[in-house]
């Protein structure tokens, strides 16, 4: 599933490849159930002729600013991504929504699982208003994160995956950040020590920045996996320390990485670096 670095890579590409300022000449919806709350005719009629004024990321969402009171908010869910299909009639499998820009290029939305969602709204807050803070935002200080964690009686991994607590983390970068910070995923948030919190925040930022620098994580070559606007895989898989590395040595201490299941999610830990909490611990 695309997480913050993968969505950021797409947003950076959309900007770098000259999408902003382009008028949308045509819209084709081949799979209407990707649209949330709008029928395909209304969706196409509203977007045709709009100029793309801005594109930004919020959590794992892409927010497109169009005309006045018109925003397109997209969540890629399991396997969604955009790519430029050139100026010819696009022919590619699993392409479900197409936008033709004023310069003739077709921007294609491809999604093998078809779980992605397109929201056409008058205010992006309708979709992204309940998200927690951005982990790379300087306003999220260690003391603010510490106050947020102290109130929560949940295990740290599912809490970090909760988009209303902090926005943008998914399974890969959560496992990587917890390993980086030497915190076990089952630790109760309210039991984290004072010095755990700044270390955790630094670790989250380190793994996200590495993911952005490497232009996302692609775990394989199939269409289910992340690829950027030019249909190239991200380069971050080789930089992962624990995710999907069970049975291989921890890069820090050499102990073999183990896989466990936390809140129904596959989870990867170093049993030496990340000490399991006492199962009876409370706070």
Question: What are the residues binding Zn ion (CB under 5 A)?
Answer: 250, 252-253, 255, 270, 272-273
Q: In angstroms, what is the minimal distance from the CB of 117 to Zn ion? A: 38
- By the 10 Å C-beta count (0-12 exposed, 13-18 middle, 19+ buried), 60 is classed as buried
Among candidate residues 2, 5, 158, 185, the one labeled active-site is: 2
Length of the chain (residues): 283
List the structure tokens of 265.
């999610």
Catalytic residue flag (residue 258): no
Active site residue: 57, 58, 60, 157, which one?
A: 60
Instruction: Please indicate whether residue 3 is annotated as part of the active site.
Output: yes
Measured CA distances, 87 to 55, 84, 106, 231, 244 (Å): 22, 9, 6, 16, 39
Report in angstroms how near the CB of residue 251 gets to Zn ion at its nearest: 8
What is the smallest separation between the CB atom of 65 and Zn ion, expressed in angstroms?
Answer: 45
Q: Contact, 257 vs 249, CB < 8 A?
A: yes
> Which residues face 227 on adjacent strands?
233
265 carries an active-site annotation: yes
CB closer to Zn ion, 44 vs 242 = 242
Nearer to Zn ion, 16 or 253 (CB): 253
Which residue in the list 3, 6, 176, 180 is annotated as catalytic?
Answer: 3
Active site residue 60: yes
Smallest distance, Zn ion to C-beta of residue 175, A: 13
End-to-end CA distance of the chain: 33
The one catalytic residue among 48, 114, 265, 271: 265
47, 39 contact by CB (below 8 A): no
Catalytic residue list: 2-3, 60, 265
């Amino acid at each position: 599933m695309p997480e913050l670095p993968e969505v950021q890579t797409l947003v950076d590409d959309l900007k770098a490849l000259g999408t902003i300022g382009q008028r949308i000449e045509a819209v084709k919806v081949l799979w209407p159930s990707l649209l949330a709350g709008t029928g395909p005719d209304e969706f196409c009629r509203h977007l045709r002729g709009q100029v793309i004024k801005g594109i930004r990321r919020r959590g794992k969402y892409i927010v497109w600013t169009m005309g006045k009171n018109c925003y397109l908010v997209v969540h890629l869910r399991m396997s969604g991504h955009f790519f430029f299909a050139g100026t010819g009639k696009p022919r590619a499998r699993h392409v479900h929504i197409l936008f033709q820009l004023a310069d003739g290029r077709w921007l294609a939305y491809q999604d093998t699982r078809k779980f992605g969602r397109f929201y056409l709204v008058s205010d992006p807050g309708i979709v992204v208003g309940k998200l927690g803070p951005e982990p790379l935002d300087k306003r999220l200080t260690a003391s603010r994160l510490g106050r947020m964690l102290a109130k929560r009686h949940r295990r740290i991994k599912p809490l970090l995956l909760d988009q209303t607590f902090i926005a943008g983390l998914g399974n890969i970068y959560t496992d990587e950040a917890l390993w980086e910070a030497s915190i076990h995923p089952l630790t109760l948030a309210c039991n984290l020590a004072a010095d755990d919190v700044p270390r955790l925040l630094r670790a989250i930022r380190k793994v996200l920045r590495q993911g952005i620098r490497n232009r996302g994580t692609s775990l394989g070559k199939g269409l289910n996996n992340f690829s950027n606007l030019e249909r190239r895989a991200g380069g971050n898989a080789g930089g992962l320390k624990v995710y999907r590395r069970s049975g291989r040595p921890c890069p820090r201490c050499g102990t073999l990485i183990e896989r466990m299941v936390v809140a129904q999610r596959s989870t990867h830990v170093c049993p030496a670096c990340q000490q399991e909490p006492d199962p009876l611990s409370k706070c």
